Amino acid sequence: MAKIKAEPFAFPVRHDQLALIVIDMQRDFAEPGGFGASLGNDVSRITRIVPDVKRLIQGFRNAGLPVIHTMECHKPDLSDLPPAKRDRGSPILRIGDEGPMGRILISGEPGTAILPELAPAEGEVIIEKPGKGAFYNTELSEVLQQRGIKQLVFAGVTTEVCVQTTMREANDRGYQCLLAEEATESYFPEFKAATIAMIRAQGAIVGWTAHVDDILESITNA
């Protein structure tokens, strides 16, 4: 069996069962005027990972492996947005409010779109998710089952929220999960570091972590 150099030990990869999930690389989280910035975050931290996410996506495409994109967003009537999610803290803008890039995190609005550099290719699956985890109230389980996917490589944002939540959901459903370290980011560097440690603790209790170069080397040579 092929292996990817990883922590806490090598990831036993089956290339015919592998897919990449790119979590929420959206304008609202990465550009000034979006939701991330309205919460007082330094969104430049997110844009720094774009080159690594891009080459990871391209590597999977070149290898003929599935790439799945997620977008956190809600229906225009907010019927899938609970008050517990919307009414918290004191942000400049709340989900559903009108912002510089349209209504914040609403399906179809300009700010909800994936960054142009990372835009999905024709035929790639796009999952619109109303929660932090990509399995909640979405078709992701069915998509993975139909394609025979049992191993998932994760990239995207933020490491400690939507990425980690989805990894934990996947782990509970029996998927083997690998986080690409340079292709994920948080607004808080200490949160990213802590999440990486939690994921691979106790013998990969949630999953493995690996460098983008090592992942690409494995799928290129498959």
24 is catalytic: yes
16 is catalytic: no
**Token code pair at residue 140:** 């992701």
Catalytic residue among 28, 52, 73, 129: 129
CB 101, CB 109: distance < 8 Å:
yes
Among 1, 152, 136, 178, residue whose Cα is nearest residue 66: 152
Radius of gyration of the chain (CA): 17
Catalytic residue among 28, 73, 162, 177: 162
Residues 6 or more apart whose CB falls under 8 angstroms from that of 215 comprise 4, 56, 59, 153, 178, 180
129 is catalytic: yes
Among 43, 63, 31, 44, residue whose Cα is nearest residue 215: 63
Catalytic residue among 24, 28, 132, 192: 24
Cα separation, 176 vs 173, in Å, equals 9
CB 70, CB 22: distance < 8 Å:
yes
CA angle 112, 117, 123 (to 5 degrees): 75
* DSSP-derived secondary structure letter, 111: G
Q: What are phi and psi of 208, to 5 degrees?
A: -105, 165
Residues designated as active site: 24, 129, 162
